Each structure stands twice: as structure tokens, then as C-alpha cells.
Amino acid sequence: MADAKRGKIFSKLAKYITVAARHGGGNPLDNLRLRYAIDQARAESMPKDSIERAIKKGTGDLQGAELVELVYEGIGPGGCSLIVEVLTDNRNRTGGEIRNILEKHGASMGKANSVLWKFVRQGNIEVSTADATEEEVFEAAIEAEAENIESAESSYLVTTKADDFETVRNALQKLVTAKRSKAEKRWGEAEDDRPVFLRSEIVYAPLNGVHIEGDKARQVITLVENLEDHEDVQNVFSDFDIPENISV
């Protein structure tokens, strides 16, 4: 079961890498989107040869299916809004399957821009506490015009406007890389091949939350799980606000 889940994650990441390479070329130094995709793949411990194969499919060096990017919008149980990002080689098949999943769980497909206005594009960058202090992260992020920094037990979450994401990400990457390099020289450690960030992505963040409880909440949780399990779905975003004690 764990291997099947891991295989599905790798399959989704491979699609993301392929599309990024197709639109911007196979060099991550020149293709920002590809760099993000590779970072995500490395964070999931995706094998290097699988990453390289996905890039070659995108650049045309290997044969692969033509993938298209689609965004579906929906209204879920309790009135919450849903945004579903997909990569597919058959839009009719995928569209029908997404619609079926929504309707099966008491939701409905929305028209274009029916719920997108309830969200804002936001950058999320998560830095490990092992790589820098809170003061160092705060200083680098604020100087690069990040919007907010939150501290957790083992990481710092930096949020940015979508337009400022690359600037803030570069500032934090410079910080983490310098700290790791200094540690390697000091302690004679091998070069650190971990991803620079625990998370680095641009998401649809809800402007407001929709509070849902009871059976409707459990219905929403099951719906999102089923959407995320679909092989063509890359991300699911929603504005639901569900109590932590609710479980399926």
C-alpha cells in the first residue's frame, strides 16, 4: 500500500517536471518552474534517473504523452469552494472523472471563475530550523519583502505575494546555502544534498474560511482525499474550516 502511494506521488511529480521542461526548457538554472518541480521531487526522494527521464520527455528527447494543464472549480458540501489543478493527456476523461468524484460526495462542478475570486495566489516557503535561526530567517525574509513568518517546532513558514515569491526564495536559498557551506567547512562534512527547503510552492490561499462541522465536514474530508488520490490531480485547494477533532 505504501509503495503504491509512493508510486502515485512519483507519477504526479514526473508529469509536473515534464510540463515544466516542455514550456521552459530542460535547464533548471534557466527554468524557474522546472527548478521548483525538481525541488519538490527531491523532497519526496524521487530517484534521480526518474527526474532526468521526466525532463527528457518534456524536452522531446524521450517520447511521452502530450499533457495539458487544467483548473477545475467546484462547490463542496457545506458551501465550501474547491480548486483542483490537474495535468492530463485526456481532458474529456479527466473532466468526467473529476465531475463524478464531486457529485458522488455531494459537490458540484462550477463554471470558470465561479470560485477563483475567493482565493489569492500566495507563495509558501518552509525552512528547517536545522538550517538557520529564527532571527536569520526573519531578517532575510523581511528584507526581501516577505509578508509573514511563522515559527513551528522544526521549521519556519515564510509566506509571500506570488509576485515576490522568487525574490524571497532566492534570499532564503542564499541564507541556507551559506549556512550549510559554513558547517561543511567547519566540521569537514560531505556536501549536503538535501533539498534547500522543506516546502517551496505557490498556492491558492483562501481569503476567508467556511466553517463546517459534523457529517458535512466528514463528507468534505472524504471528497478531498478522493480528489487527491486521482492520478491526474496535482493539487486541491479549499476554503473549508473544519474542527481538528473531526475524523472520517
Distance CA 42, CA 170 (A): 18
Structural domains in the chain, CATH included, are 2-59 (1.10.10.200), 68-248 (3.30.70.980)
Q: Which residues pair with 71 in a beta bridge?
A: 85
For residue 151, give the 3-state DSSP assignment: strand
b (16+ CB within 10 A) / e for 203-218: bbebeeebebeeebbb
Please give the pLDDT value at position 187. 60
Please give the pLDDT value at position 195. 81
pLDDT-derived band at 188, boundaries 50, 70, 90: low
Between 230 and 248, residue with greater pLDDT: 230
Give the other-Cβ count within 10 Å of 28's Cβ: 20
Q: What does the pLDDT look like over 192-213, one tens digit per residue?
A: 667 889 888 999 999 999 999 9
What is the pTM for the complete model shown? 0.86
Distance CA 120, CA 16 (A): 22
Q: What does the pLDDT look like over 131-162, one tens digit per residue?
A: 999 999 999 999 999 999 999 999 999 999 99
Residue 178, φ and ψ in degrees, nearest 5: -65, -40
Q: What does the pLDDT look like over 12-71, one tens digit per residue?
A: 999 999 999 998 999 988 888 898 899 889 888 899 999 999 999 999 999 888 899 999
Which set of grid coordinates corresponds to residue 105?
A: 460526495
- Cβ proximity of 116 and 73 under 8 Å: yes
